Amino acid sequence: MATSIGPLADVPLQDIPQSITVVTQQLMQAQGARSFEDALRYVPGITFGAAEGGAIGNNVTLRGFSARTDVYLDGFRDRGQYYRDTFSLDSVSVLQGPSSMLFGRGSTGGIINQESKTPTWQPHDVVQGTLGTSDQYRFTGDFNHAINGQAAFRLPVMAQTVHSTRDVMHNQDYGAAPSLRLRLNPKLDVTLTSLLERNHDMADYGLPPLNGRPASVDRDTFYGLTSDRTTQDVKMVSARIRYAAQPWLTLRNRAQYVRYRIDAVETAPGKVGTCSGTFDPATLNCPGFATIRTAGNPGSFTNTPLSDLYVQLGGHARNILDTAAFDQFDATWKFTTGPLAHQLVTGGEVGRETYKNQTVAFSNLPIVPLVDPPHVSADQFGATLSNAGQNLAQASATTYAGYFNDTISIGEHWKVVGGLRWDRYAAHLTNTVPSSRNVAVADQTVYRNSIRTGILYQPTAARTYYVSWGTSFDPALETLTVRTGQESLQPQTSRSLEAGLKYLFFNGNLSVDLAGFQVRQNNTVVQVDTGVYEATGSQRINGGQLGFTGRPSPKWQIFGGYTYLDGKITDPGDIATNPSAAGDNGNTPANMPRNNVTLWTDYAFLPSWSAGTGVVWQSPRYANVQNAVSIPAFVRWDATLAFMREHYDIRLNLINITDVTYFDNVIQSDGGRAAPGAGRSALVTVTYRFD
C-alpha cells in the first residue's frame, strides 16, 4: 500500500520511518462509521475532546498531544471547527509522531489526513439508507460516471437526522462533495473537488466533575437548554494538477480555499452548589446559591447528597468565521548519484488564514438540579442573548514555507530518509474588549526549521526496521482563537526519537508494525479554564505502539493495536509568574490513558454472510493537567452481521452491546468535564448498487 499525504507522494508505507495507519472505506462501512470520530475509534493512540471554550467540532488527542489543528483534507490543513462526516471520504490516514518537516507548524503527536472520494473511470451508482434506534435516520449516495475517455464526474451526498441515547441531543446534517477529473493528455491530470456541508447540531458539554470524577448521575443527563444549537456551514473548493513530465520527474500543484461559518448558541454545566432556601422547580429559583465546586477547585469533595446539589448553567455562545487559502507546489525527482538512488521531493507552500470570533453573552441562565434536571428552552425560561459590549476577536496569519525530502536507496537493503523544512508564520490578533489577561493587540512572527531523518533496513520486501528522529513546533497564535494568556508565549517545540519494525504477511495483505518512541516538548501550554491557557514548562512522553491491519484471507479482515503512553510534566515552568503551575510538576498530561487496546475483526463465514466484532479498552485518564478529575477506564464492545448479494447488502451494527457507561470525550475547560459515550444502540443499513 502507498500513501500520498502532503509531500509524501505515492510512497509505500514500508518506506515511511514512522507509524502510520490507514482506515479504508471498506473498514468504515463494516464498523458502521458515520462520523470522523467513528472512523478513528479503533486507531490506537487516539482519544477525543468534546466542545469547549473557543473550540468546537472534532478535537483529537494523538499520542498525548492535541491534534486540534493537525487534521488535513487531501493534504491541506482542515482547521475549521466543525463535525466531520465520512460520506465524502475514501480513507483516513493517521501518521504518528512529530511531522513539522512534512506539514509545517503543529503535528507534535502526528497528523490525520482525510482522503476525499474522487472520480474513477469505472462507473458506479450506490445508495445507502440507515435506520437506527433512538430515532436515527441517514441517507447517502455515491454516483460516479465517466463522461468520456478524458473526463469523469463523482457526486457523494448525505442527509441525516440523528438523535442519541443522551437526553435531548439531536443533529440534522446534509452535504455534497462533487468532483471532476480531467485527463487532458497521458501526462497531465487535473482533479477539481469541493465539499459543501451544513450541520445543525447540539454540542455535548457532558457532566460536571464532582468528588474527583464525573458526577455520579445517569449518563443520559443533559445540562443545557433544549434550544441550544451549533450551526456550521463548510464550503471548500480545491484543484490538483499532476504532470508526469518525464518518467523521472513529476510536478504537482494543489490549491484550496475553504470557508467555515459557525453560529453557536450553547449552554453547559458550570458551578455546582447548594441552595440555602427551598428550590422552586417551577421557576428554577435557587435562593442563596453557594458554590461547592468551581473550575479553580475541580477536585472538591462533598458529602452533600446529590439530590441536594444544583448546577449553574453557563453560556458558550459565539459567531465564528474562518477562512483559509493555500497553494502547494512540489516536484518529485528520481535520479542516481553513483551507487545511490534518490527520490527527492522538493517544493513550497504559501497560505493565508483569517479568523473572526464574536462573543455573545447569555443572561438569566437557570440553576438546575444536579439529578434529573428539567428540559427547558431559552424562551421558556427567559434567557436572552446579546453581543453588546462583548469581545470581537479578529486574527489573520500568513505562511511561507519551502522544503525538501530525499529518500536515498543504498544497495538493495538500506534506505536513508532526510528532510528539511523552513517556515515563516506571521499572525496578528486583536480584541475589542481586552481583559486583565487578554491583550488588545498581539503580533507574532516565527521563523522555524524542522528536521526529519530516518534509517531503514529492509532485508526483504516484507520486512522493514527503522530508526527516525524529527522535530515540530507550535506557535502560540497558531489556532488564531481567543486563548487568554497565550498571546505572547514562545512556540512550543518538540523532538522525537522512534524505532520500530514493519512486517508484511500473507503476500502483503496483512501489515503489522511495532514502534517505541520518546517525545519531549518544551514551552508546553495547557488549558486551565475556558479559553484560558498557561505555560507549564516541559513534558515528556515515553511510549510504545503495536498496530495491525489487513486481510489474512479474502474472507477475513482484522484491524487494531495497542498503545502504551507514559507521560509526565517534567518542568512546571516559571513558577514566579505562574505559581499554580508548581503543583503540576510530575503530573500526567490531560486526556492521556496509559493503555489503549483496540481490535476489530470480521469474517465472511458463508458466501452471502459475514459477522464481526470490535472491542475498545482504555485505562483511566485525567480530565485536566492538575490531575484532580479522573475519568474511569472502560471496555466497549460492538458487533456486526451482514447479508451480501451482488447488488445489495443488509448490515446490522450493534453499538456498545453491554450498555456500559463510559466517557468518550474529555473537556479540559471549567475544571474538566466529560461527555458520556453512546449507550446500547443498533443500526440497520441497506446498500444498493445499480451497476
Q: What cell numbers appear for 77 in the block?
A: 490543513
pLDDT higher than threshold 50 for residue 575:
no
In this predicted structure, what is the pLDDT of residue 148? 87
Phi and psi based region of residue 83 (left: phi greater than 0; alpha: psi -120 to 50; beta: remaining):
beta
Q: What cell numbers appear for 540 in the block?
A: 515528556
In this predicted structure, what is the pLDDT of residue 582? 53
d(CA 515, CA 496): 12
pLDDT above 90 covers a percentage of the chain that reads: 59
d(CA 380, CA 283): 10
pLDDT higher than threshold 70 for residue 532:
no
pLDDT higher than threshold 90 for residue 30:
yes
In this predicted structure, what is the pLDDT of residue 1? 58
What does DSSP assign to residue 491? P
Spell out a b/e string for 383-405, using b for 16 or more CB atoms within 10 Å of the CB, else e: beeeeeeebbbbbbbebebebbb
Q: Per mean pLDDT, which range of 147-161, 162-176, 413-427, 582-596 is the poorest?
A: 582-596
d(CA 255, CA 92): 20
Contact of 235 with 324, CB cutoff 8 Å = no
pLDDT, averaged across the chain = 88
What is the CA 205 to chain-centroid distance, rounded? 17
pLDDT above 70 covers a percentage of the chain that reads: 91
267-274 sheet: strands from edge to edge: 290-293, 267-274, 310-315, 367-369
- Of the pLDDT bands very low, low, confident and very high (cuts 50, 70, 90), residue 48 is confident
pLDDT higher than threshold 60 for residue 442:
yes
SS3 state of residue 379: helix
Angle of CA points 410, 412, 417, to nearest 5°: 40
Closest CA to 120 of 145, 88, 155, 149: 145
Q: Higher confidence at residue 55 or residue 681? A: 681
Q: Higher confidence at residue 54 or residue 88? A: 88
Span 55-62, mean pLDDT? Answer: 71
Instruction: Provide the H-helix boundaries in 340-466.
Output: 378-381
Q: Higher confidence at residue 294 or residue 589? A: 589
**Residue reference for cell 487535473:** 190
Chain segment 476-504, per-residue pLDDT in tens: 888 887 555 566 677 888 899 999 999 99
In this predicted structure, what is the pLDDT of residue 62? 87
Closest CA to 116 of 20, 60, 193: 193
Instruction: Provide the H-helix boundaries in 87-150.
Output: 100-103
In this predicted structure, what is the pLDDT of residue 8? 58
Strand partners, 422: 402, 449
- Most confident among 42-51, 372-381, 555-564 (mean pLDDT): 555-564
Span 26-48, mean pLDDT? Answer: 91
Span 319-328, mean pLDDT? Answer: 95
Span 607-619, mean pLDDT? Answer: 96
pLDDT higher than threshold 60 for residue 606:
yes
Closest CA to 268 of 224, 309, 202, 225: 224
Closest CA to 189 of 10, 24, 400, 399: 10
pLDDT higher than threshold 90 for residue 152:
yes
- Most confident among 78-82, 359-363, 424-428 (mean pLDDT): 424-428
Q: Higher confidence at residue 3 or residue 493? A: 493
d(CA 493, CA 471): 7
Q: What cell numbers appear for 89 in the block?
A: 471520504
d(CA 236, CA 1): 28
Please state which architecture CATH assigns to domain 2-689. Answer: Beta Barrel (2.40)
d(CA 102, CA 175): 30
Q: Higher confidence at residue 114 or residue 534? A: 114
- Of the pLDDT bands very low, low, confident and very high (cuts 50, 70, 90), residue 576 is very low
Q: What cell numbers appear for 240 in the block?
A: 490538483
Q: What cell numbers appear for 35 in the block?
A: 462520523
Q: Higher confidence at residue 570 or residue 234? A: 234
Q: Per mean pLDDT, which range of 311-315, 327-331, 419-423, 512-516 is the poorest?
A: 311-315
DSSP annotation string for 307-325: GG-EEEEEE-EEEEEEEEE
Greatest Cα-to-Cα distance within the chain, rounded to the nearest angstrom:
87
Span 349-356, mean pLDDT? Answer: 96
In this predicted structure, what is the pLDDT of residue 53? 44
In this predicted structure, what is the pLDDT of residue 110? 87
pLDDT higher than threshold 60 for residue 626:
yes
In this predicted structure, what is the pLDDT of residue 345? 93
Count Cβ atoms below 10 Å from residue 255 Cβ, excluding itself. Answer: 17
Torsion of CA 680, 683, 684, 688, to 10 degrees: -160
Contact of 114 with 85, CB cutoff 8 Å = no
Contact of 619 with 595, CB cutoff 8 Å = yes
Where in the chain are the domains?
2-689
Q: In the chain, count H helices and then E strands.
A: 4, 44
In this predicted structure, what is the pLDDT of residue 14? 87
pLDDT higher than threshold 50 for residue 54:
no
- Of the pLDDT bands very low, low, confident and very high (cuts 50, 70, 90), residue 525 is confident
d(CA 627, CA 656): 28
Closest CA to 173 of 159, 157, 184: 159
Q: Higher confidence at residue 435 or residue 218? A: 218
3-state secondary structure 425-449: EEEEEEECCCECCECCEEEEEEEEE
Q: Per mean pLDDT, which range of 425-439, 448-462, 590-604 is the poorest?
A: 425-439
DSSP annotation string for 279-344: -BTTTTB-TT-EEEE-TTSTT----S-GGG-EEEEEE-EEEEEEEEEEEEEEEEEEEEETTEEEEE
Strand partners, 502: 464, 513
- Of the pLDDT bands very low, low, confident and very high (cuts 50, 70, 90), residue 3 is low
pLDDT higher than threshold 70 for residue 364:
yes
- Of the pLDDT bands very low, low, confident and very high (cuts 50, 70, 90), residue 82 is confident
